[in-house]
């Protein structure tokens, strides 16, 4: 096909090529999900339907890119997809990878919504997600990345569980619950949950406490990542 005289504008397009030999992590995160979850009346602190929907959307992304992905890990409104260091997906173009992952995830989230929620999505409150690619230069930093997200899940979930139970069971106001928990360490929070609300944190669902790992085959696992991390990355 003949080139038009306008073709030169192509030169203005620049793409970032992700450094070779590095693991690529694509992390997506729901935009303003604090509000989104309020609008659709998510159960607090953890809405199981919403977590399962996130997992189902992530599973389809993993299966679509199963030759490139080692695993995915998700909690709350976020998911991380860990790609093999040798992947040549889209010639390692950063914006292609980040945009296609988040777009595929979002379309799945929307398409699968009715499987998990009785109520329709309304056009003024549609879900959308941000996306970034982060490079990790060796196995240790990838493992630490995953451990970081895992620890974050634990810390947030413990806090949110006690916070909401103090409100729901002990009838504290959000302000009172916040003040009550201020300065407490993990063991104290678990003790408060037990003493005040008769809830044993250990009996909370694993999916809440540990988040969800998606294997390359699309299996969901809710496990202590710190304990299995060396096994998971064996061979990578």
Annotated binding site: 29-34, 76-77
Sign of the CA dihedral running 46, 216, 31, 185: positive
- Binding annotation for Mg(2+): 29-30, 77
Of 23 and 33, which has the nearer Cβ to ligand ATP? Answer: 33
Asked whether position 29 contacts ligand ATP by CB under 6 A, the answer is yes
Binding residue for ligand ATP (CB under 6 A) from 76, 87, 153, 190? Answer: 76
Asked whether position 193 contacts ligand ATP by CB under 6 A, the answer is no
Q: At what angle do helices 48-64 and 94-116 cross, to 10 degrees?
A: 140
Of 42 and 79, which has the nearer Cβ to ligand ATP? Answer: 42
Helices and strands: H and E segment counts in the chain: 8, 6
Convert residues 44-73 into a mask of x (bound to ligand ATP by CB under 6 A) and - (unbound).
x-xx--xx----------------------
CB atoms within 10 A of CB 75: 23
Minimal distance, residue 5 CB to Mg ion, in Å:
24
Of 32 and 132, which has the nearer Cβ to ligand ATP? Answer: 32
Assess contact for 205 and 47: CB atoms under 8 A. no
* Helix (H), strand (E) at residue 56: helix 48-64
Of 88 and 187, which has the nearer Cβ to ligand ATP? Answer: 88
Assess contact for 70 and 146: CB atoms under 8 A. no
Biggest distance spanned by C-alpha atoms of the chain: 77
Where along the sequence are the contacts to ligand ATP (CB under 6 A)?
Answer: 29-34, 37, 42, 44, 46-47, 50-51, 76-77
């Amino acid at each position: 096909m003949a080139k038009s005289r306008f073709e030169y504008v192509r030169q203005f397009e620049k793409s970032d090529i992700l450094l070779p030999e590095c693991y690529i992590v694509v992390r997506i995160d729901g935009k303003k999900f604090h509000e989104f979850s309020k609008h659709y009346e998510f159960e607090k602190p953890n809405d199981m339907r919403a977590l399962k929907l996130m997992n189902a959307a992530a599973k389809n992304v993993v299966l679509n890119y199963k030759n490139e992905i080692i695993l995915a890990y998700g909690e709350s409104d976020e998911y991380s997809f860990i790609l093999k260091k040798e992947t040549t997906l889209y010639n390692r173009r950063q914006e292609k990878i980040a945009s296609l992952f988040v777009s595929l995830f979002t379309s799945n989230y929307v398409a699968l919504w009715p499987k998990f929620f009785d109520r329709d999505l309304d056009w003024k409150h549609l879900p959308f997600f941000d996306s970034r690619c982060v490079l990790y230069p060796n196995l240790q930093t990838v493992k630490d990345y995953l451990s970081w997200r895992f620890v974050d899940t634990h810390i947030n979930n413990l806090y949110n569980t006690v916070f909401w139970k103090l409100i729901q069971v002990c009838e504290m106001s959000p302000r009172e619950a916040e003040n009550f928990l201020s300065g407490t360490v993990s063991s104290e929070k678990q003790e408060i949950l037990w003493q005040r609300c008769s809830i044993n944190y250990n009996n909370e669902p694993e999916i809440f406490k540990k988040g969800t790992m998606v294997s390359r085959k699309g299996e969901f696992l809710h496990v202590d990542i710190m304990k299995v991390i060396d096994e998971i990355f064996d061979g990578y």
